[in-house]
Amino acid sequence: MAIEAFAPAKINLTLHVTGRRADGYHQLDSLVMLTDVGDRLTVEKARETSLTVVGPMAAGVPTDRSNLVIRAAEMLGVSAKITLHKSLPAMAGIGGGSSDGAAAIRALCALYDLPRPDRETLSSLGADVPVCMESELVRMRGIGEDIDRLDTPPDWSMLLVNPRVSVSTPRVFDEMDERDNPLMDSPFPKWQDFDGVINWLAHQRNDMQAAAVGLQPVIGQVLAELSQTNGCALTRMSGSGATCFAVFKNASERDAALELLRHRHPDWWCVATQRVGARFA
C-alpha cells in the first residue's frame, strides 16, 4: 500500500522580525498561507528507509538524513520507501524542505496508523514544520511554534516568481540592520474583503526583504516587474527569498502577467497559484 501527501508552498504574506533570543534564534510575527503548488510525496512500508527524489527540481536535493523527510521517519520510529517529486525550488523562501517534512509526517502517520505529533515535537524537526501542517490562514509567532488559526484563506489569484537564485537565510539575518521591529498592525482586517486586506497588507512588511535584495539584486527586479503588471494589487518577497509573490484581483489579469513574465524571462520560475484548498491531504 502506498500513501501520497501533498507538500504545498508556504507564502509569508508578512514577515516581521521582532527580536532575537539569547540562543540566537529570531522571533517572528508572520501571516502565512499555503498554496496549491508544491511537491508530492509517496511512502510505502519497507524494512529500511530510502529516499528517491525525482521531478524538475530534483537536482541537488539531498537523500540522506540532512533531508527532513528522512528525519521525519526517524522521529516517528518507522521505515519506508519514500519517493519525493520535487517541483518547488530549494532555498526559495517558500518552505519547500519544511513542507516536505510535514508531508512525510502526514503520510507516514497514515501509513502506520500513528497519531500526529504535537507542535512541540514537530518544532524539533524544523521551525517551519508546524505551520506547514496547517491548511488555514495562520499567524505564526515566536520561532514558529506559536500558531493561531485565523480563517479560511482568501481565494486570491496569485503568482509566484523565483529568478532561480538561492538566498541563505543566515546571511540575510546577518545583513539586516534592525532585528527588533514592531509586530503586525492590529486589529486584523476581514479576510474576505479584498480591498481592505490589500490596504492592510500594504502597511505590513517583510523585514528580510531589503537585506535579501542587497545580496541578490535580481529580487528587486522581480518585485519591480511584478508591480508593473496590469492588475497587480500587491507584491512582496516571501520568507528570506528569493521567491516573490503577487496578488491579483482576478485570474485573467494574473494569467496575462504570467504569460508576459515567462516570455520576458524564460529562465525564471513563474507559476500561477491560489490557496491550497482541497489539494491539501
> Domain spans of the chain?
2-149, 151-279
86 is catalytic: no
**Strand locations in 229-268, DSSP E?**
232-237, 244-248
Cβ within 8 Å of residue 28, ≥6 positions away = 15, 16, 17, 18, 140, 141, 142, 143, 144
Q: What is the dihedral of CA 151, 90, 129, 183, to 10 degrees?
A: -60
Which backbone phi and psi does 137 adopt, to 5 degrees?
-70, 130
- Residues 30 and 13: their CA atoms lie apart, in Å, by 7
- Residues 69 and 49: their CA atoms lie apart, in Å, by 10
State in Å, rounded, how far the first CA of the chain is from the last one.
Answer: 17
Grid cell in block for residue 9: 508552498
Grid cell in block for residue 86: 520535487
Per-residue pLDDT of the chain (281 residues; tens, 9 = 90+): 899 999 999 999 999 999 998 888 899 999 999 999 999 999 999 999 999 999 999 999 999 999 999 999 999 999 999 999 999 998 899 999 999 999 999 999 999 999 999 999 999 999 999 999 998 899 999 988 899 999 887 889 999 999 999 899 999 999 998 999 999 999 999 998 999 999 999 999 999 999 999 999 999 999 999 999 999 999 999 999 999 999 999 999 999 999 999 999 999 999 999 999 756 65
Residue 280: its pLDDT value, please?
Answer: 66
Which backbone phi and psi does 88 adopt, to 5 degrees?
-95, 140
Which backbone phi and psi does 105 adopt, to 5 degrees?
-60, -50
**Strand locations in the chain, DSSP E?**
2-20, 26-45, 50-54, 80-85, 137-142, 146-151, 157-162, 232-237, 244-248, 269-273
Residue labelled with grid coordinates 492592510: 200
- Residues 37 and 89: their CA atoms lie apart, in Å, by 11
255 is catalytic: no
Residue 80: its pLDDT value, please?
Answer: 98
CATH code reported for the domain at 2-149: 3.30.230.10
Residue 263: its pLDDT value, please?
Answer: 98
Instruction: Tell me whether domains 2-149 and 151-279 share a fold.
Output: no
The one catalytic residue among 36, 100, 128, 207: 128
Residue 136: its pLDDT value, please?
Answer: 86
Q: Does domain 151-279 have CATH number 3.30.70.890?
A: yes
Q: What is the pTM of this model?
A: 0.95
Distances (CA, A) of 199 to 39, 192, 251, 276, 281: 32, 13, 20, 23, 32
CB distance 172 to 223 below 8 Å: no
Residue among 26, 233, 251, 252 nearest 127 (CA): 26
